[in-house]
Structure 1
Amino acid sequence: MTTLEDPATATPTAGEPGGAVRTLLRMRVREGCEEQFEEAWRTAAVQIAGEPGNIRQELMRDAEDARTFLIVGEWADRAAADAFGRSAAREALTASLRELREDADRSTYEVRYGIAGGEQASHVRVDISTRVAPGEEEAFERAYAVVTDRLRGTPGLIREELLREPGSDLYHIFAEWESDEDFRNWVDDPSHADQSGPLIRWLSVFFERKLYEIRFRPQEAGVRGVRATRPAPAPAAPETAGLPTPRAEPAVAPAPPPAEAPTRTACEVLVVGAGPTGLTAAIELARRGIAVRVVDKRSQPATQADKAIGVHCRTMEIWEDQGIVTEAMDAGSWLHGQTVFVNGQQTHQVDWSGLEELPYAHLGLPQYETERILIARLTSLGVPVDRGVELTGFTQDDDGVTAELVDAAGTRSSTRAQYLIGADGSGSVVREQLGLTFDGGLSMFPQLFMLGDVDVDWEMPPGHLVRWVRIEEDGDFTGMLVCVPLKGHNRYRVATLAPQRLQKTIGSGVVPPGFWKEYDPPGLADIQAAIDDLGPAGTTASNLRWSSIFRVKHGIVDRYRTGRVFVAGDAAHLHPPAGGQGMNTGIQDAWNLSWKVALAVRGQASAGLLDSYDAERRPAGKAIVDRAVAVAFTDEMDMDDERAQFLLEMQMTMNYAGSPLVGEAAGGVGFTGGPLPGHRAPDVLGLRRFGVAHDLRLFDLTRGTHATLLLSAGDGVGADELRGLEELAGTIRDTTGGQVRAYLIAGPDVAVPPLVDLPVLRDARGAFAAAYGTAGAGTAAYVVRPDGHVGFRTRPVSEQALREHLAGVFTG
């Protein structure tokens, strides 16, 4: 039976000396030294148990990583912990463990509330951490007190405590259970959702959980006297107490406290996160000469195929501009089309390779390969990724952002940047620190899903994504099997519903992330069962390389920018996997944002340029999320216009129409077609330039970090008018600080006089005039932005309208 410490009588006393404290020390042990480390700590722990004020110690090992240990020390008050930190016992322990460990980090916490039990034997500890926004601490602690009341009498729960790191927004819920089985039974019980309900608003923003095995606990012989302002708490019932602001020395410390490094100032933009979104942003900034720093809390890049596969055509165009498209094509495999079966019958088959609007087909490339290629490109620009470095917080002012960082060794530092880009994924610290919320809430599909990479022995069209769905007569969706071809013979990534035995354990209601049952990866038999249920009879899956169970969340934040800080990718929007939009959308975010931030760093951005990131990318992101949710449980095919649907999914028709940053001159004769303002500027073949023996592409002109002014001259345009266009091009180049390059594209029969400052290309076959709606007489102009979208167009050329538009983008 457990007992609850009444919060009404256990008032937190933050800042009061003498309250109980807990020190947590995580240590990474050298490979092969695990047993030696445990024995060294056992020996030292006996001595530490006799130190004044020591209440208890525990040595725990990460249940998923045998080389990671957690040492917990409880002290009667801060004075006792400080005294131990200066003692000979601490020095001896440091010496005995120094050669056995690789790294360590520690924190000291005040004990806030807790459930305490008797002296039962215990086996596991669960460490749940979450962050609480400034001003919400009291509400969070009241909510926790309600939860502890509901947990009264939970089978197997020995004790639980709420700990807070002084001066930080980080809380730990530190629970001891009789066994791993007791803890997991509680997690599996749907009633735990009701018990934990008051904490959902915080746990749904940031949540981490680690399970530890208790390896050793010295016998508790009581607490020796110490100088304290109030009595030490009994071991079984830690009291609610506060701590002074300064950080205490650790109870057990194999290394000196984390060093405080000086602020770094060489960074103009800090990118947090080295996934595809963050790497794309960093590449674009580095291409423009911006001093960018990239930090990522992962110690190593991804090495297994647990994320995105599909690379969209628009992403391939971006990679062509960045100079990495060939590497991507060499590493990937082409997806030629899609074959769909509904209730066992083939309903449609689409070939993607014949669409003339697509300069590239759909590429299959595991995300770890995508990251490898992007990292290599970033490295070639002289920018490394700072790995094992985590953002813990930041502040911003009128001049920049100060970011607080901690590395894998626990060393804390700060860096100053003009801007910060948060590309730190679904659990974004940047999003949390900004106080961003998901518009309409973060939703989760009720089903469990599973993934697996297997060989399948069927005869399906090569390179086709194959999809089976089962839809009942009443329209209910009851089955789904999606198989995406991978590089290799008949190798597929299989996505489907998890087995029913697991679906039944989910429970109901809203549950904080991380509180769902943690499942073992599915086996080959589970994948085979799904294929037997929905796929062709007699099909066999084999050679399972990797698998996982996952949940699908979806939502979009209420804004993408706050001051000098931005969010992008999964930090801004979460997608169902339908259509493979997540990674590609994040890359588009970075592609849109980076050129604007670079101009702002140089002082060449207009007042509203950075605001256009939210105005353009958030509506695009919302449309993509909404569509992915809508088609997640359908056959995904629109038979009325398969071509338009696929172009939309490839993000070729995604546009920024209505953005304050795009426009068109009023009046004039107008265009006969062509891309509208905000739409993607299409490539054109067949351009000719004097001195070049082969045809050129329009993308040969727009490729790079600049904006492009395309001046078109058709029939009837004379020499004086052409010289006027040359003068206009020079003026625009000067007023935009060289950010706009201009070209004249003349019809095949236009007489062009010698021009000094305006390169001339011939539209030899009329392809440009047809694609951009400039056929016929007169002049026209398009401004193509650095991200390849049309910023402005005018026909005939209106110098005043053109200059007004550019003044809304560049300051010169």
Structure 2
Amino acid sequence: MGAIEVPVLIVGGGGCGLSASVFLSDQGVDHLLVERHPDTSRVPKAHYLNQRTMEIFRQHGVADDVLAQAAPLEKFGKVRWQTTLAGDGPLERRLIHEMDAFGGGSLRETYAAAGPVLPAKLPQMWLEPILRRHAEDRNPGRILFHHELTSFSDEGDHVAAEIRDLETGEITTVKAQYLLGADGGRTVGTEVGIEMQGPPGLVNTTTVYFSADLSEWWEEGTLITHFLSPEDPDLSSNLIEMGPRWGKECEQWGLHFAPGPAGRWNNENVVPRIRELLRIPDLEVTVHKVTDWIVHAHLADRYRVGRVLIAGDAAHRQPPAVGLGLNTGIQDAHNLAWKLAAVLGGRASDGLIDSYEAERRPVGRENVDWAVSAAVHHQAVIDAIGAGHNIPAGRRKQRLESYFDPSPLGDTVRARAREIFHTHRGGCQSLDMEVGFHYEDGALVPDGSEPPARVPMRNEHRPTSRPGHRLPHAWITAGDRRLSTLDLAGRTDFTLITGPQGTPWCEAAARVAEKFSVRITTVRIGAGCEYADAEGGWEAVRGITDAGALLVRPDQHVAWRSTGAGQDAEQTLAQVFAAVLDR
């Protein structure tokens, strides 16, 4: 039996756990990650990386590797509804509706204005090897796949755990200051009494992951295509590209069946069903995996118990609508990493860790509720045009025939349907859900201002420098370099942003940094400063005068702001850091 002492033990090597490892390494925090499976995911799972996640990956030097394999936006920036993929019948292979989605098409300019990097599409089976490589490069010898947590206990001043090597059976004892459960809720949360709150499983869904050549029929540029059968509700499904190439060159696919009992389909009987669903009777199909899974709407009652924390699916599970699941987990890890580093480095008290739950659990609540709302509403949309699962076969055909009727009445039917489909923007154009989440309580100092009113469909984002919000993006220049204001926030440092008259804040920051043993990078933006606001974007969103200041945390969220000059800059900043670091 061996023994290891390490500041942080991560249990779970999926997208959330591996991201946490990368972020902790960049914070200089030694840690051990264990994952019971021998390798990263062999099924696609989540496939959409939203804009905020891509900004985080950009900050940590992962985005370029993701983008090298991911589908570019022009390859996935639409959502489609059609009758069938193939076939030559009067109601087969007919487009019902399509709309720009997730930054594609007409949305691109809006998304590009919101951040320095656009969303990407890369299924988890391709993403996780990238994250694993980065994790292993930054923390060699401490990323242990095919190892499982067999037991642990919170001893008050540390966590004692036992890890088993599933190849050799060897047991290793681990002494850690904190344990992070990123295991999907399999073990860690349950062991410390964390409860998942929410209704019983909403519905069973079957997903088949397969390879086939669909280039003859596939309309590229689509994130997801919903097939609404004119004959049989059970023949309705949706199809998603899973790579590793994209568009008409795509080789692997994920097909989600209409809800039904578990166990209906297996690798053998599902092949004729795929052919029937897609209307391609002689399609050559290689089935890789058939999985049944329950759609949940659950949120953990706590994110922390003593020295044990949870993140990702261990803390929140929601329908896949809007693509918030994996993204929320990665953002959990980003929020937590700098706080663990500050506490373990002696720069903050353990109380800073409590702000993780205070900040992230309300976001988890909102995202679970939003995903449920979007999923329910999407069902209402297709019910309204007569193609929902609850519409019987005879009426389905009749309703779809009226939809495609070339008469003036058909024009009216289609016009009404377009207005109904437009309400789906809350599901596939909700930019503010991606980058607009913010914190009201936690490691921040409120300034008494109110947050910007949010558009009900969340399809507009209103940037603000209000404490708790993500630092607004604007393009600035330093010499011949063009960079985003988000690039100013270092992985480990606090960043103080001021204007041309902000010298007193900068001088005070140097003294406070020494007093609190923290790193504070000072940045001035404006005329005569090291960074120029040549395009005027920063002035439009900064929310401070030339004499004001913003304090930005390592996770790119604003901790504090002063709209103008302060009476005693050093005392003010000292009080801010005492509050933020719980000192």
TM-score (norm 1): 0.57
Q: Does 1:440 align with 2:183?
A: no
Cα distance in 1, alignment partners of residues 427 and 499 from structure 2? 29
Question: What code does the residue aligned with 1:334 have?
Answer: P
- Counterpart CA distance in 2 for 1:454 and 1:654 is 39
Letter in 1 for 2:437: M
What amino acid is the match of 1:705?
T
Say yes or no: does 1:707 pair with 2:478: no
SS in 2 for 1:733: helix
- Structure-2 residue corresponding to 1:729: 509
In 2, Cα distance between equivalents of 1:399 and 1:326:
40
Question: For residues 283-304 of structure 1, what are the alpha-carbon distances to aligned partners after superposition, in whole Å with 9 as ceiling and x for unaligned?
Answer: 11112221111111112333x3
In the superposition, relative to structure 1, how do residues 471 and 378 fare at CA in structure 2: closer, same or farther (>3 Å)? same
Return 5+ residue gaps in structure 2 as ranges.
Answer: 84-93, 382-419, 453-461
- The one-letter code of the counterpart of 1:699 is L
Residues 1:660 and 2:442 aligned together: yes
Which residue identity lines up with residue 736 of structure 1 in the other structure?
A: F
User: What displacement does 1:271 show?
Assistant: 0.7
Counterpart-to-counterpart distance in 2, 1:601 and 1:783: 22
Q: Percent identity?
A: 28
* Distance in 2, Cα, partners of 1:386 & 1:485: 27
Q: 2:132 aligns with which of 375, 384, 388?
A: 375
* 1:787 correspondence with 2:555: yes
Distance 1:810 1:576, change over 3 A: same
How many pairs does the alignment contain? 502
Give the aligned partner of residue 81 of structure 2: 341
2:13 corresponds to which residue? 274
* 1:457 shift after superposition: 3.8
SS of 1:264 mapped into structure 2: strand
Letter of the structure 2 residue corresponding to residue 807 of structure 1? A
**What residue is the counterpart of 1:27 in the other structure?**
none
Map of 2:272 onto structure 1 = 525
**Shift in CA distance, 809/546, structure 1 to aligned 2, threshold 3 Å:** same
**Matching residue within 493, 499, 504 for 2:253:** 493
The one of 657, 676, 688 aligned to 2:466: 676
Alignment match, 2:370: 627
Whether 1:300 aligns to 2:47 is: no
How much has 1:739 moved relative to structure 2?
A: 2.8
**1:315 pairs with 32, 42, 53, which one?**
53
Tell me which amino acid in the other structure corresponds to 1:297.
Answer: R
Task: Return the letter of the residue paired with 1:524.
Answer: V
2:113 corresponds to 1:361: no
Q: How does 1:299-698 map to 2 (within 5 A)?
A: 299-302=38-41, 304-336=42-74, 337-341=77-81, 345-350=95-100, 351=105, 352-355=107-110, 356=112, 357-384=114-141, 385-408=143-166, 409-426=168-185, 428-458=186-216, 461-468=219-226, 470=228, 479-484=236-241, 486=243, 487-490=245-248, 491=250, 493-497=253-257, 503=260, 519-520=266-267, 523-532=270-279, 542-544=284-286, 546-554=288-296, 555-635=298-378, 639=422, 642=425, 646-648=429-431, 651-656=434-439, 658-666=440-448, 674-688=464-478, 692-698=479-485
Equivalent position amino acid for 1:296 in 2: E
| Structure with the larger strand share | 1
1:46-85 aligned at under 5 Å gives the runs none
The 5 Å alignment of 1:182-193 reads none
**1:482-540 deviations in Å (ceiling 9; x for gaps):** 433632452263332259xxx4x55xxxxxxxxx67844663322222234xxxxx798
Partner residue in 1 for 2:519: 739
Cα–Cα, structure 1 residues 346 and 644, in superposed 2: closer, same or farther, change >3 Å? closer
- Report the AA paired with residue 779 of structure 1: A
> For each residue in 1:555-584, what CA deviation from the matched residue of structure 2 results, as whole angstroms up to 9, or x when unmatched?
121111101110111222222222222222
Conserved 8 A contact 1:423-1:568: yes
Shift of 1:368: 2.5
Q: Please report how far the alpha carbon of residue 761 of structure 1 lies from its aligned counterpart in structure 2 after TM superposition.
A: 2.5
Match of 1:329, SS state, is: helix
Higher helix share: 2
Q: Is the 8 A contact 1:313 1:650 kept in 2?
A: no
Tell me if structure 2 keeps the 8 A contact 1:733–1:741. Answer: no
Q: Check conservation: 1:522, 1:549, Cα contact below 8 A.
A: no
Change (3 A) 1:641 1:469: closer
Q: Structure 1 residues 565, 274: closer, same or farther in 2, change over 3 A?
A: same
Secondary structure of 1:464's match? coil
2:3 aligns to what SS in structure 1? coil
Rounded to whole Å, the distance in 2 between the matches of 1:462 and 1:416 is: 51
Secondary structure of the corresponding residue to residue 295 of structure 1: strand
Q: 1:443 to 1:458 in 2, by over 3 A?
A: same
Q: In the alignment, is the contact (CA less than 8 A) between 1:663 and 1:791 conserved in 2?
A: yes
Q: Tell me if structure 2 keeps the 8 A contact 1:606–1:808.
A: no
CA shift, 1:268, in A, is 0.9
Distance 1:557 1:771 in 2: 35
Instruction: Give runs of aligned pairs for residues 752-763 of structure 1, distance below 5 A.
Output: 760-763=530-533
Give secondary structure in 2 for the equivalent of 1:546. strand
- Structure 1: unaligned runs, 5 residues or longer: 1-260, 507-515, 533-537, 753-759
Partner amino acid for 2:422?
M
Who wins on radius of gyration, i.e. which is larger? 1
What is the identity, as a one-letter code, of the residue corresponding to 2:495? T
TM superposition score normalised by structure 2 = 0.78
Instruction: Check whether the contact 2:53–2:327 (CA below 8 A) recurs between aligned residues.
Output: yes
User: What is the deviation of 1:653?
Assistant: 1.7
Counterpart code for 1:415: V
Provide the aligned C-alpha RMSD in A. 3.2
- CA-CA distance at 1:811 after TM superposition: 6.2
- Deviations for 1:363-399, whole angstroms, at most 9, x for unmatched residues? 2213122111112212221333112221112111331
Q: 1:741 to 1:477 in 2, by over 3 A?
A: farther
Structure 1: which amino acid aligns with 2:577? L
Structure with more contact order per residue of length (Cα contacts < 8 Å, sep ≥ 6)? 2
For residues 326 and 560 of structure 1, what CA distance do their matches in structure 2 show?
A: 31
Check conservation: 1:652, 1:680, Cα contact below 8 A: yes
Q: Secondary structure at the match of 2:422?
A: coil
- Measured after TM superposition, the shift of residue 458 of structure 1 is 5.0
**Cα–Cα, structure 1 residues 459 and 784, in superposed 2: closer, same or farther, change >3 Å?**
farther
Deviations along 1:35-91, whole A, 9 cap, x unmatched? xxxxxxxxxxxxxxxxxxxxxxxxxxxxxxxxxxxxxxxxxxxxxxxxxxxxxxxxx
Q: Are the counterparts in 2 of residues 315 and 587 from structure 1 also a CA contact under 8 Å?
A: yes
> Separation in 1 of the partners of 2:247 and 2:472?
35
Post-superposition Cα deviations, 1:233-256, rounded to whole Å, max 9, x if no partner, equal xxxxxxxxxxxxxxxxxxxxxxxx
